[in-house]
Amino acid sequence: MGLPCRFNGLAALVSQFLKNPSLPHALERDQDLRRCSRSRSSVREGEVDAKSYGEDELPSRAIGSEDWYSVPMNRIAVFDSGLGGLTVLKTLRAHFPQVDFYYLGDNARLPYGSKSPEVVQRYSLECARFLATFEPDALVVACNTASSLALEHLERECPFPVIGMIDPIVEHVISEIKPSSLAVLGTKATIASGAYQNKFAAQSTTIDVHAVSCPLFVPFVEEGIFHGPLLKRVLDLYLNPLRAHCLDAVILGCTHYPLLHKELAAYLGESVQVVECGQGVLAELAKLPMSASKTKGSAQFFVTDDATSFSHLASLFLGDPPRVEKVELGAAYGSAVGW
């Protein structure tokens, strides 16, 4: 039996890519063009048009105020370029069930991993601006690309604590696993930024770090391809060279990648510990005072493109399909955003 129609184009590109490794960039550009053309359409009935907020309309806590880490976490906002950040959200909701969460998946403009630093910074600020309308007590940047390229900008501009992916997981791996050799799998932008490599080098001079760009993993996850012969061939392409090293751990340096955890762990073998970024974020949030409420918190989900597809794929690992609203991020397709 052949693949479903929606997989045919991806299957053809993968087949060509195995002959020509430059094709991931063509795939990413093709996705950008298709998603951009859909997302520029006008807001349809039932969709949310997010308001643009100026500096005087942001939450009242002043930037850098000392009460950040004394205010209980009642509301936490999370954003990613698409589905991947839900892997982090699922972990956080399991450990902090009393907290209200607000999740934004910027699926109209994924993947972030193929974008320039300036574009990722602008997109990230736009996502943060939208989520700021819910007056969160903290923002989790559940995207490694945004964490590597835009975290400093977000920390400088946001009137609440901002937690990225990279620092927490590096500290967790060093303190808990104590590896002598490890690999980091990430998007093209994350690996090229050197964020993981530099952080490990600053923390330890004895760890051998191998950074591997895996540009096809995000499109596979967003298409719902979590196993099968196509994925196996791509795993061979990216991970086979790592078998020459005696790895203690592999960090999934993109929040989409945990959806491939089972296949990655099987490929790498039992001697290699596969680490997800959510583990580090959980430890970081545990340092902040949490809500003492005994009432179960809620979760609201927003996307910038196809809400139906997002809800369906999200249900594969969240359980019941979440109610998802499509939003327009104000100046998302215009000039750079200021607060």
Mean pLDDT for 221-238 is 94
Residue 42 predicted with pLDDT over 50 = no
Residues 121 and 179 in one domain: no
CATH of the domain at 153: 3.40.50.1860
Residues 303 and 259 in one domain: no
- Residue 13 within any structural domain of the chain: no
Residue 11 predicted with pLDDT over 70 = no
- Residue 124 within any structural domain of the chain: yes
- Residue 43 within any structural domain of the chain: no
pLDDT digits (tens, 9 = 90+) for 180-217: 999 999 999 999 999 999 999 999 989 999 999 999 99
Residues 269 and 171 in one domain: yes
Single out the residue in 261, 280, 299 at which a domain terminates.
280
- Residue 28 within any structural domain of the chain: no
Q: 240 pLDDT band (50/70/90 cuts)?
A: very high
Residues 160 and 297 in one domain: yes
- pTM (2 d.p.): 0.77
Residues 187 and 272 in one domain: yes
**Total structural domains in the chain?**
2
Query: Cα dist. 254→37, 81, 82, 128, 328 in Å?
Result: 26, 10, 11, 19, 25
Residues 105 and 238 in one domain: no
Residues 185 and 273 in one domain: yes
Residues 112 and 252 in one domain: no
Residues 160 and 293 in one domain: yes
Single out the residue in 262, 280, 298 at which a domain terminates.
280
Q: 339 pLDDT band (50/70/90 cuts)?
A: very low
pLDDT digits (tens, 9 = 90+) for 113-146: 989 999 999 999 999 999 999 999 999 999 999 9
Residues 158 and 294 in one domain: yes
- Contact by Cβ (8 Å): 32, 123: no
- Residue 66 within any structural domain of the chain: no
Query: Cα dist. 238→13, 17, 187, 231 in Å?
Result: 16, 12, 12, 11
Task: Give residue 238's Cα distance to chain centre.
Answer: 20
- Residue 295 within any structural domain of the chain: yes
Domain region containing 121 = 76-164+289-328
- Residue 63 within any structural domain of the chain: no
Mean pLDDT for 265-271 is 96
- Contact by Cβ (8 Å): 189, 150: no
Residue 70 predicted with pLDDT over 90 = no
Q: Rounded to 5 degrees, what angle do the CA atoms 165, 166, 168 make? A: 80
Single out the residue in 280, 297, 320 at which a domain terminates.
280
pLDDT of residue 316: 78
Q: For 7-21, 35-49, 259-273, which range has the lowest pLDDT when averaged over its residues?
A: 35-49
Active site residues: 143, 254
- Residue 304 within any structural domain of the chain: yes
Residues 137 and 272 in one domain: no
Mean pLDDT for 92-116 is 94
Residue 281 predicted with pLDDT over 90 = yes
